[in-house]
Amino acid sequence: MNTGIDYSDAYRIVVKVKREDIVYLNGIFESYDNLAVIRTIDRWESLVEILASPYFVSDVKGILEELKREMSLEIIEEAV
pLDDT of residue 3: 52
pTM: 0.86
Confidence of residue 9 (pLDDT cuts 50, 70, 90): confident
Res 34: pLDDT? 85
The domain locations on the chain are 20-79
Rounded CA-CA distance 25/71 in Å is 10
pLDDT tens across 14-67, in order?
999 999 999 999 999 999 988 999 999 999 999 999 999 999 999 999 999 999
Q: State how far the alpha carbon of 52 is from the alpha carbons of 23, 33, 69, 72, in Å.
A: 18, 12, 22, 21
